[in-house]
Amino acid sequence: MKDNMVEMANKSVVASLKSLVVSACALSLSCVAAASVLDRPFFRANATVVVIGAGDFNDNGGVAPVVFDFLHLENGVSGTAATDLIGLDGRPVNLNSGLFNPIFSEDAGGNEFQINDAVSGGEFNSTGPNQILNATDSYNAFVLDEDTDVGLENLGTRASRFFVASNSAFDIYAHANNLETTGTFDALDLSNIRFRLRYQVTGGGATNRWGERAQDPAIGGAGIIFPQTTAIRLDAISSGPTQVFDGGRRTAAEPGSLLEQAVGFQARYNLLGDDNTATNYDLSLGSGSIAADVTYTVYVP
């Protein structure tokens, strides 16, 4: 009898303890198993610049327009090259007949000649391509006097373009090197090539128009470092990458395509004679060639 009473008392105590635990769990979450998931959606557009031109020289089968630089500008400083997410070195373009055409290399042919100050005649008839003289071109017979002369077409100017579209400010540096000369042009060097850089926010035409939704990227910066009125020579940018454009803001002003948001940069080069003052070719220079590489690189401002 006594044992039964003890057993009944123990059961009563256990029941009371269970009741207390249930009551405690009802008042607190500490007794309930739990798991959590922490999500953190975010959207961030890194500072980015795309450079548009041609995939290669025209005579090497290049096509245009092509994006050959996709630059990641985060965490850099001006003068230090940004990470390029496309492994391709591009070429600039010409805008001929309203089309983007890759430039030709010096291997494609010589410059076009023009007849200056003819009494009559002397018209140049080109079958194309632009800026290249070849055996299919022709000239009209011309009457000459004491002022008539022969020079390079357009005063020996070579022009080319590349385009930049960006969501941030950017700088451009240029470096001239790899000089090569042939024939009697061996007497010339980088100081015999005049260099100017300019930019156009919008231009072109029809489907090949650019910049309709772009803005002036120089605002907030210094813009072109060497004004067009300053006739610098390529030797001025031959010691290493030299800043030629100081940007202050992005090119993209409104929603649109890359070409609509792109700004065009045009480089113009002129041949200077052996006296380093003439702005064109003269027969006394003889025959030969002079060529150099000019590398344009986009940097973080």
At residue 7 the predicted structure's pLDDT band, cuts being 50, 70 and 90, is low
Average pLDDT, integer, range 72-78: 70
First-to-last alpha carbon distance for the chain, in angstroms, is 96
Share of the chain above pLDDT 70, in %: 84
At residue 206 the predicted structure's pLDDT band, cuts being 50, 70 and 90, is confident
pLDDT above 80 for 154: no
Average pLDDT, integer, range 151-163: 85
Q: Kindly list the strands in the beta sheet with 223-224, ordered across the sheet, starting from the edge strand earlier in the chain.
A: 223-224, 242-246, 171-183, 288-299
Q: What is the DSSP letter of 105?
A: P
DSSP run (H or E) holding 157: strand 157-166
Q: How far apart are CA 49 and CA 236, in angstroms?
A: 26
Q: How far apart are CA 279 and CA 256, in angstroms?
A: 41
Q: How many CA atoms lie within 13 A of 80 on its CB side?
A: 7
Average pLDDT, integer, range 218-234: 85
Q: How far apart are CA 143 and CA 121, in angstroms?
A: 6
- In total, the chain counts a number of residues equal to 301
Amino acid at 32: V
Three-state DSSP class for 150? strand
In the numeric block, the tokens 């065009």 are attached to 264
pTM comes to 0.82
Q: How far apart are CA 106 and CA 41, in angstroms?
A: 53
Bridge partners of residue 161, in order along the sequence: 93, 266
Query: Residue 271: which residues within 8 A CB-CB, separation 6 or more?
Result: 152, 156, 192, 193, 194, 280, 281, 290
List the one residue out of 29, 12, 19, 103 whose CA is nearest residue 60. Answer: 103
Hey, what are 22's tokens? 């249930």
- How high is the pLDDT of residue 96? 72
- How high is the pLDDT of residue 19? 53
Under a CB-based contact definition with an 8 Å cutoff, are residues 281 and 202 in contact?
no
Angle at 132 between CA 128 and CA 137, to 5 degrees: 55
| Pick from 8-17, 88-97, 236-245, 247-256: least confident | 8-17
Hey, what are 74's tokens? 């985060």
At residue 13 the predicted structure's pLDDT band, cuts being 50, 70 and 90, is very low
pLDDT above 90 for 200: yes
- How high is the pLDDT of residue 159? 87
Average pLDDT, integer, range 284-301: 88
Q: How far apart are CA 133 and CA 263, in angstroms?
A: 30
pLDDT above 60 for 14: no
- How high is the pLDDT of residue 198? 93
- How high is the pLDDT of residue 17? 44
Under a CB-based contact definition with an 8 Å cutoff, are residues 115 and 153 in contact?
no
